[in-house]
Amino acid sequence: MDLNFTPQEAAFQAEVRTFLRDNLPAEFARAVRDGDELPKALMEEWHAILNGQGWLATTWPKEFGGPGWTPVQRHIFEEECARANAPRIVPFGLAMLGPVLQKFGTPAQQAEYLPRILDGTDWWCQGYSEPGAGSDLASLKTRAMRDGDDYVINGQKTWTTLGQYANRIFCLVRTQTEGKPQAGISFILVDVDTPGIEMRPIRLIEGGYEVNEVFFTDVRVPASRLVGQENEGWTIAKFLLTHERTNIAGVGFSMQALDELKALARRIRRNAKPLIENPLFAARLAQAEIDLEAMKITNLRMLVRAREQGGPGPETSILKIKGTVVRQALNDLSRRALGPAAAPFPSEDLLGNASLVPEEHARNAARYFNNRKLSIFGGSNEIQRNILTKAMLEL
């Protein structure tokens, strides 16, 4: 396998780098680099910049307003954005709901919602997990009862990422209680300002606010908001989750984290030598880099296969597992490099290195704690291993 870019791909890489150099505001890159909580206005402005270039919906075909990129072009774009500290593209409308509507939505739904995702009119969030139904989504209990031309929804969703910014939420709801649990689930689109919806913040371990719990009390939603057929939402859910898990792998983020870790290990000195020369630390760093390189190759192979098959398959669980393990390993190595000063608010006597600043310690601590969730959301890594095992045994 030739892992080198073709001349055309190398030219595209140069084009992306030039675009980011000329169009990514310095204050945006600084906020991402420092691990700041990004305000909605910043993310919306970056989305608008990308949409103006035609580079926002990277997974969409041209007929729906996407760039129609090859898997390698998508890989290059994500890698260069991460390296430039560009704000991430919020995935819920673009990388999750968009492909669902393109495959399962009616022409009317596609015409109504897809342009609004692109131009930023709508900000979507995801209503999947519940207090008793996280990785085991089939046990969800939020009910949607048909009442004339409406569905009436009652229940609760949790871990709703960036829901505080959203004006719409796509939900899995139970429309049938008989038979297999998976057979009674439907996929429906809901306006967040509908009467009966309450959203409450959940504070994370590092102090950030990016997830919420959402309560539905007699929420009336037009039946025209149902995507696909009633009681067939499980098929849609599985399709959406394969796209989500590919996104969670975060190859570009890991590559940027590796570069930062190497720079940190060169600046920190232990026993009068740079930490990167410590044999044990260097071995751990080498193993993380080897795993990341292997994952990059696997990611490209699966992107090509997804294009050929019309969508990702169960093998995306491999990316989800390995991608999150690699990112957490890099975060852990940064913590080890900082030593006692890895505390979120280290005292001056713990810093002990003139080449480091307190903000750098706080940034690494916040990233370490926040990314502990990576191996849980999108279906825990234990669940992903079950999916892979089942797929292998059914071959």
Is 286 a domain residue?
A: yes
One domain, residues 345 and 265: yes
Q: What is the pLDDT of residue 361?
A: 64
Q: What is the pLDDT of residue 271?
A: 84
Q: Judge whether residue 357 has pLDDT over 50.
A: yes
Q: Judge whether residue 312 has pLDDT over 80.
A: no
One domain, residues 225 and 257: no
Is 261 a domain residue?
A: yes
One domain, residues 292 and 341: yes
Range of the domain at 78: 7-89
DSSP 130-164: BTTBSS-GGG---EEEEETTEEEEEEEEE--TTGG
Among residues 215, 211, 153, 210, the alpha carbon closest in space to that of 187 is found at 153
Q: pLDDT tens-digit profile of 79-103?
A: 899 999 999 999 999 999 999 999 9
Least confident of 128-132, 157-161, 239-243: 239-243
One domain, residues 207 and 321: no
**Which listed residue (130, 213, 244, 315) is catalytic?**
244
Q: Can you tell me the mean pLDDT for 259-279?
A: 90
Which of helix, strand or coil describes residue 218? Answer: strand
CATH classification at residue 156: 2.40.110.10
One domain, residues 297 and 326: yes
Least confident of 73-77, 121-125, 173-177, 385-389: 385-389
One domain, residues 222 and 349: no
Which of 7-16, 27-36, 302-311, 384-393 tops mean pLDDT? 7-16
Is 104 a domain residue?
A: no
* Domain stop point among 64, 89, 114: 89
* Domain stop point among 191, 209, 233: 233
Q: pLDDT tens-digit profile of 181-227?
A: 888 999 999 999 999 999 999 987 777 788 999 999 999 999 999 99
DSSP 295-361: HHHHHHHHHHHHHHHTS--TTHHHHHHHHHHHHHHHHHHHHHHHGGGGSSS--HHHH--TT--HHHH
One domain, residues 21 and 74: yes
Cβ within 8 Å of residue 223, ≥6 positions away: 146, 149, 150, 151
What whole-number percentage of the chain has pLDDT above 70? Answer: 88
How many domains are there within the chain? Answer: 3
Which of 35-39, 47-51, 259-263, 365-369 tops mean pLDDT? 47-51
One domain, residues 263 and 364: yes
Structure confidence at residue 129 as a pLDDT band (50, 70, 90): very high
Is 71 a domain residue?
A: yes
Is 240 a domain residue?
A: no
One domain, residues 83 and 140: no
Q: What is the pLDDT of residue 64?
A: 95
One domain, residues 72 and 203: no
What whole-number percentage of the chain has pLDDT above 90? Answer: 55
- Determine contact, residues 392/346, Cβ cutoff 8 Å: no
What angle in degrees, to the nearest 10, is found between the helix axes of 233-248 and 316-338? 40
* Domain stop point among 89, 113, 134: 89
* Spatial separation of the C-alpha atoms in residues 383 and 5, rounded to whole Å: 35
One domain, residues 33 and 159: no
CATH classification at residue 320: 1.20.140.10
Among residues 57, 59, 107, the alpha carbon closest in space to that of 311 is found at 59
Among residues 273, 285, 276, 288, the alpha carbon closest in space to that of 323 is found at 288
Residue 244 annotated to the active site: yes
One domain, residues 260 and 171: no
* Spatial separation of the C-alpha atoms in residues 192 and 28, rounded to whole Å: 28
Is 244 a domain residue?
A: no
Q: pLDDT tens-digit profile of 298-308?
A: 877 776 676 66
